[in-house]
Structure 1
């Protein structure tokens, strides 16, 4: 590959991909109009390298204005933080930036995005650091609530996939050594086939810091086309498929618009356009599983960083959104847990009710298998999960969940090892039941204070492990500290429930 992504070969690839994508039925521009509150004007004259940069207000622009959006990593190094501090738009410099933005104040990654935008012949660029007033909590909150529109309406999302920080930039690629081969053939057809190794494809495209960032997840999914500047390769994603420079070496793919490679499982911006059915909720859970493994610079961004996807999902499912879960699917939504290899941690500052997956940090999964014979074992009486009124940025959520069900004392486990390890001390899977206490802050020496509440009868009984709050048992107020499943015979469960008294509890 050429070290310059805008070489003759690289430029031809980009232009070809954009042209083909513009013909895809699934990749047509949104029918609704949207213009971001602010955009960076990168200039009009394509040949003028001294164009004046400035912030412009979206309300002054045509509603069909074309713009690019930058998806990138800020980075955590001191130099990255300093560069972001210098580049960011704040209340004190906003007025001046409406007249002029000095390019010298901008990091290399942002400068590279300006270069790409100009090369494409597009006048405007959206960058969060420049277009959101960073020291204004109200502006941050307002803009974070339209993030799905910002990326979905962008003509192209520029992904700085190779840049680990805001200072690195993404247009300079490693220079590859060129080797001249002399091949003698006795046939008219070529005997030599060159193919890239699969591990190299994975390393360049999937193994990078950009894909570990929490905010990136919805930025990628909400965009209808993304141009990646990865380490050593250009590649392009859209709602219809995936292409990269290496594929252009394959004659059977190079000219056929119908041979776009299918997307990977977690890149499907059209997945929410189907009918309202349980699989739509399952798509959401799958997205949360991927998202839960991403990193966030600010832990309080857990729910805001996926709120754009939540709003898109809400339009399809028509269900009330409750701090990461859905009212019409709560019996399954509540049954999240950590994979066996992961440990969940409670952040220092509470950001969601304990029944929400967003309350903890770490990888998550749902192990549910829907069938017509599924039976809820707890009745939902009332639920509320809304932004904390004390948080102006609306990053923190508070709420409660009132249930009526068979509340029982936790008496199955003999020691804390079984609580921490669902497979038991000797690694033998317990066939009668599996317990997982996800909050390691629980005092296991007082395990007698733990309770279980069955939630759903599938092929197994699945439910929650609860701990009383500081209000004590008499208040019937608990917090979720774990998840369990057991394998009794279905008829035995149903018969047992007939003789059980139900209790109303509140989980906060």
Structure 2
């Protein structure tokens, strides 16, 4: 290993050759002032270099420009990811982090001698990484051997032999190597009903089995029903389905799922449409309460990510490959491909969020590609070893959802989750509120699986859909203010909730966050918020859910500084103009984000929830008296007030006063 780096660097062109070839416009774009080794690091190989260093490589080597291997490696931010992995002892992940698809990302017939030499360098570096990976692999066989075998198989679509072989490899590595994913592998949960598809060789009929203790693991299906008639289990046909179900009466999506389950070697499949009696309210409510156990107890969840209904199936053809054309090398792997799965139709449904958070392993069938997501690793057929989170569009949300999955799996992240549950939960609320439900009355039921599982880990209490810990921060939600939505929304009457609870809002929600929220804009300006300092005391908070889970009641008692403000129609105009026209600053001192109709002019009570010392901003709850209950208040929105507490009197006409408010 000590002599490996010098031998690899012999294939790199000398510095003067690089200088000579810079004259070409293409080469100038490609190389600029980089040496060949710089390009290797820039192409995402810094993790491999870090690995070689950790393995005792020759650290004294310097390139033509006098730069050491370490100096080159640390130039790219991917090294930071490697250092983080090292800190947690994830050596195998470091080995896998950057070696996937290196040979595929550069070209078998490069257009110039220089790129051909670089290609040889990449190939040799990737072989070194794969050797190291092979040495560390559990069971004595390396993933690269499996991938070589997979590449030789038929691969015309996501249902091909190659695709299924890739899925088998992910599943094998997860069940054998991932401690978090297999912490409770010895216990098998048995759903009330499950689809028995028979032995692996059986290609005939299947049947439902009921109230049976399973001695083998089962697979769950996550899919969209659509608006067309999905064959479901009813009171009228359940007895027949306990005897047999002809394969041809099932939807294409379910048939494809059965095919995958058989290929993976399982016998049992749980499908909501078949395993719940859909026209029995008693059975539906009983089984809905078990959703968390069903998905967390499944060995694997098959998710059909891009189908709008059950008739479209799960398999997709590959996009055709173009055999001719120009070759290009990109300075960033994110410009070529990404293993991060793009959000699809499945991600727009509310029920699916708990399936995604509670399942230990998910195999996504997407448009032309398979994606893998377990508690330990995310991958794709493009990047079969590991997905980079550096290209994630929403890192806050990804961090929160992954933290929940790890904590529920019994990992060491439970303490972190307890400390930061408010930050995590607002990400869940933002994600969940942007999804859709066929029945708005299911809004709370579709989230119960997650909340009940978290309650067991946190030892915390949920009130009005929010945790008692950090409740003040969770109260700062506001409605979606995109141009396509109205500022003043009347809550959906099919689900009733207290005005202070986010469950009363029928639209996508946003929160006062410490990072720039790309989705929230007022006019043409987006807003950056720093950390908030709470100024509100929660005196008490309580809520009660109806028996069917279709409504919730509750009372919130808070105390803090507040002030009256006379709200006019002018205040509700687009407020960003005041940033550029000082004559209007006295007319519009805040951003009024109302979530229900308020007649103007009207008096509102602004209760200060938190203060932002950096942005000179107050976050206030906007309250009006409850017409039906004397002495109680209702929330009508939130206000981002320009200025700190001591500046309120300048615009409101009076100093904020302490008070206690009961909100319903």
> Shorter-chain TM-score category?
0.7 to 0.9
1:312 aligned residue: 453
Cα gap change, 1:10/1:452 in structure 2, threshold over 3 Å: closer, same or farther?
Answer: same
Structure 2 CA distance for aligned equivalents of residues 211 and 10 of structure 1: 22
Q: List aligned pairs for 1:290-309, cutoff 5 A.
A: 290-309=431-450
1:73 to 185, 199, 224: 224
TM-score (norm 2): 0.63
| Residue 202 (structure 2) pairs with residue 48 (structure 1) | yes
The offset of 1:246, in angstroms, is 1.9
The offset of 1:280, in angstroms, is 2.4
The offset of 1:458, in angstroms, is 4.8
TM-score (norm 1): 0.81
- 1:231 is paired with a residue of what secondary structure? coil
Cα gap change, 1:178/1:312 in structure 2, threshold over 3 Å: closer, same or farther?
Answer: same
1:177 aligned residue: 320
Structure 1 CA distance for aligned equivalents of residues 635 and 365 of structure 2: 43
The offset of 1:281, in angstroms, is 2.1
Whether the 8 Å CA contact 1:332–1:368 is kept in 2: the answer is no
Cα gap change, 1:133/1:8 in structure 2, threshold over 3 Å: closer, same or farther?
Answer: closer
RMSD value, Cα: 3.6
Structure 2 CA distance for aligned equivalents of residues 420 and 141 of structure 1: 45
The offset of 1:347, in angstroms, is 1.4
Cα gap change, 1:212/1:357 in structure 2, threshold over 3 Å: closer, same or farther?
Answer: same
Structure 1 CA distance for aligned equivalents of residues 545 and 161 of structure 2: 51
The offset of 1:285, in angstroms, is 0.9
The offset of 1:125, in angstroms, is 0.8
Cα gap change, 1:261/1:198 in structure 2, threshold over 3 Å: closer, same or farther?
Answer: closer
Whether the 8 Å CA contact 2:545–2:551 is kept in 1: the answer is yes
| Residue 417 (structure 2) pairs with residue 274 (structure 1) | no
The offset of 1:29, in angstroms, is 4.8
Whether the 8 Å CA contact 1:56–1:98 is kept in 2: the answer is yes
Whether the 8 Å CA contact 1:204–1:232 is kept in 2: the answer is no
Structure 1 CA distance for aligned equivalents of residues 467 and 430 of structure 2: 15
| Residue 88 (structure 2) pairs with residue 88 (structure 1) | no
Whether the 8 Å CA contact 1:417–1:425 is kept in 2: the answer is no
1:256 aligned residue: none
Whether the 8 Å CA contact 1:72–1:160 is kept in 2: the answer is yes
Structure 1 CA distance for aligned equivalents of residues 340 and 307 of structure 2: 12
2:475 to 334, 343, 352: 334
- 2:425 is paired with a residue of what secondary structure? helix
Deviations along 1:222-273, one digit per CA (max 9) or x if unpaired, are 111111111111121111222222225xxxx5xxxxx564595435121554
Cα gap change, 1:430/1:2 in structure 2, threshold over 3 Å: closer, same or farther?
Answer: farther
Structure 1 CA distance for aligned equivalents of residues 503 and 311 of structure 2: 31
Structure 2 CA distance for aligned equivalents of residues 363 and 330 of structure 1: 19
- 1:351 is paired with a residue of what secondary structure? coil
1:483 aligned residue: 638
Whether the 8 Å CA contact 2:596–2:637 is kept in 1: the answer is no
Cα gap change, 1:348/1:402 in structure 2, threshold over 3 Å: closer, same or farther?
Answer: same
| Residue 351 (structure 2) pairs with residue 210 (structure 1) | no
The offset of 1:126, in angstroms, is 0.9
Deviations along 1:54-97, one digit per CA (max 9) or x if unpaired, are 2212x4223x5311111111123xxx2x2x2xx11222322332
2:212 aligned residue: 60
Q: List aligned pairs for 1:152-171, cutoff 5 A.
A: 152-171=296-315
Cα gap change, 1:144/1:20 in structure 2, threshold over 3 Å: closer, same or farther?
Answer: same
| Residue 259 (structure 2) pairs with residue 101 (structure 1) | no
1:348 aligned residue: 493
Q: Count residues with an aligned counterpart.
A: 468
Tell me: higher relative CO, structure 1 or 2? Use CA pairs within 8 A at least 6 residues apart. Answer: 1
Structure 2 CA distance for aligned equivalents of residues 438 and 69 of structure 1: 41
Structure 2 CA distance for aligned equivalents of residues 168 and 435 of structure 1: 45
> Gaps spanning 5+ residues in structure 2: where?
1-153, 515-528
Cα gap change, 1:16/1:141 in structure 2, threshold over 3 Å: closer, same or farther?
Answer: same
2:289 to 145, 158, 180: 145
1:186 aligned residue: none
Structure having the higher helix fraction is 2
Say which one has the larger Rg: 2
Q: List aligned pairs for 1:14-25, cutoff 5 A.
A: 14-22=167-175, 23-25=177-179
